[in-house]
Amino acid sequence: MRTFKIILMLVIISISNIILANKTQPAVNGLNAKRTSGEAPSISTYIYNSGLDLPAPTLNVTKNATYSFNSLIQIPGGDLIKGDVYFGVYLPDRNKPFSWQHDGTLISPQRLTPIIRGIDLKEKYGFDITSILGKEIKYTFTGSEPVGMYLIYTLITVSDTDPSDTDNWISIYMSPFFFN
């Protein structure tokens, strides 16, 4: 049954990533966020252990090991001018997301906190979050964390809008990892 739930969750994540990547945006706060040309940004999120693993989209993490988290983002250019990037993790209960802040700390806010504000969406370019921050985002699993499937997320929204409103989303990517 547990295997079935994991497979079902991965299918749902894949379908939502496809749907959201092609979503047309409505007007937001007076800013016409509708994309009349171009594609949504492409996102790849991964986790790895510096000394042991190659970067991978999914991974089984172990106790007392430090892992690095990163997200690669390709901006195709287009009609939108600015966006905010949110990067974090949902715990196995998936009740609320944790967000990484600009200084690399993981927090559980009442509201999502962008790790990068005001990125240029008009020009075509690519970047990864650790290059923008100038440092790796790391976390050591101590064994006190809940057991189960975690979801790393990267969300790009129209700048200075509410990230909990899906109408403000430009692109989202989620990738699972497991702690047993």
Q: pLDDT tens, 121-166? A: 999 999 999 888 888 888 888 888 888 898 899 999 999 999 989 9
Cα–Cα distance measured from residue 7 to residue 107, given in angstroms and rounded to the nearest whole number: 28
Two tokens, residue 115: 């790790």
Domain count, the chain: 1
pTM summary value: 0.74
Predicted pLDDT of residue 80:
76
pLDDT band at 55 (very low <50, low <70, confident <90, very high): low
Bridge partners (DSSP) of residue 28 are: 31
Domain with 80 in it:
2-179
Spatial contact of 79 and 120, defined as CB atoms under 8 Å apart: no
CATH code of the domain containing 76: 2.60.40
Q: Which of 46-50, 90-94, 123-127, 132-136 has the highest mean pLDDT?
A: 123-127
Predicted pLDDT of residue 8:
37
Segment 64-81 mean pLDDT? 87
Cα–Cα distance measured from residue 137 to residue 118, given in angstroms and rounded to the nearest whole number: 20
